[in-house]
């Protein structure tokens, strides 16, 4: 029997997934003591159950990650048969290698913490670096938001479209989107000055007189997207749209988007995102719900990996 639990990171997504699966969200108390410590009590029997914990590790990242680990421990000690951590947005994924002396590989640390806490399986979506799957010694099901985003773009019917990667690292993703949409693609070369400031340098490909879809896996400060959009506008691009799997939008990002040539940022609700004039969140509840259903019944999840 399946049990679905949710932390406080994104209860709306958890409820939507339960609606897709036609199951009730498992009752549990998640509280914070006066000293900041987290307390969790599962109020239903989960002994021998197949438990799915839905908790993106979005900001406040440390709080949400610790809350997930404590929920796993609670379920483990309540004799759950199997525990799957459903992490639509996997925080710390950008710290996946030593790119400077004496720095941590935090993505690997988080993987170790999840396994040590008692997680049996991980279900996630659009990792910043796909090789993070190899940081785990347990099964990882890695979904893609591309089918959801591509379906939306197709319905908009944007003509004379070109897909653009805002940096060299996103070439593979942009090429997949361009192939699915049957259009050309281009690349913006960038130089990162700091964690919040990016400089777009040049465009590889033809964008003059074309409508543009910028594609990236995530945006936080919107520095990469807005710098690329400004350069594309200078190179003669017409309407500019952006599609990202995860939008962890800070106040700086909201301001930058408002001041940028980007008409619409299309993203998913892998993290809590408010719909606004410039931002359109699309639900991934059906995608995640179907993956949970297949995992529970021992069916293949492979077809859901396809872009």
Which residues, including other chains, have CB under 8 Å from residue 287's CB and lie 6 or more apart?
Answer: 125, 143, 145, 147, 148, 304
190 part of the active site = yes
The catalytic residue among 41, 154, 156, 190 is 190
DSSP states of 53-98 as a string? Answer: EE----SSHHHHHHHHHHHHHHHHHTT-SEEEEEESS-TTTT--S-
Strands, sheet with 50-54, edge to edge from the N-terminal-most edge strand: 2-6, 50-54, 82-87, 121-125, 140-143
Q: Quote the CA–CA distance of 142 and 131 in Å, as a whole number.
A: 11
Q: Quote the CA–CA distance of 304 and 148 in Å, as a whole number.
A: 11
Q: Quote the CA–CA distance of 307 and 304 in Å, as a whole number.
A: 8
- Which residues belong to the active site? 190
């Amino acid at each position: 029997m399946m049990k679905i639990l949710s932390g406080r990171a994104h209860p709306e997504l958890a409820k939507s997934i339960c609606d897709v699966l036609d199951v009730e969200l498992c009752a549990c108390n998640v509280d914070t003591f006066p000293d900041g410590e987290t307390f969790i009590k599962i109020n239903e029997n989960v002994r021998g159950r197949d438990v799915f914990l839905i908790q993106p590790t979005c900001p406040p990242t440390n709080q949400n990650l610790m809350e997930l680990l404590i929920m796993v421990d609670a379920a483990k000690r309540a004799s759950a048969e199997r525990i799957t951590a459903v992490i639509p947005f996997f925080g710390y994924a950008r710290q996946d290698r030593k790119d400077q002396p004496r720095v941590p590989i935090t993505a690997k640390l988080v993987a170790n913490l999840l396994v040590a806490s008692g997680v049996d399986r991980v279900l996630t979506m659009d990792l910043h670096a796909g090789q993070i799957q190899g940081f785990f010694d347990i099964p990882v099901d890695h979904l893609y938001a591309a089918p959801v985003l591509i379906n939306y773009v197709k319905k908009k019917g944007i003509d004379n479209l070109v897909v653009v990667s805002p940096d060299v690292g996103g070439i593979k993703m942009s090429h997949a989107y361009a192939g699915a949409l049957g259009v050309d693609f281009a690349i913006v070369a960038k130089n990162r000055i700091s964690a919040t400031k990016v400089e777009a340098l040049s465009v590889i490909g033809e964008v003059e007189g074309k409508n543009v879809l910028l594609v990236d896996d995530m945006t936080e400060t919107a520095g990469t997207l807005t710098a690329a959009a400004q350069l594309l506008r200078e190179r003669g691009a017409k309407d500019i749209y952006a599609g990202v799997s995860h939008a962890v939008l800070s106040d700086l990002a909201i301001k930058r988007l408002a001041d940028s040539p980007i008409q619409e940022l299309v993203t998913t609700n892998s993290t809590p995102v408010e719909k606004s004039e410039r931002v359109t969140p699309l639900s991934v509840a059906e995608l995640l719900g179907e993956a949970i259903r297949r995992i529970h019944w021992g069916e293949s999840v492979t077809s859901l990996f396809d872009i």
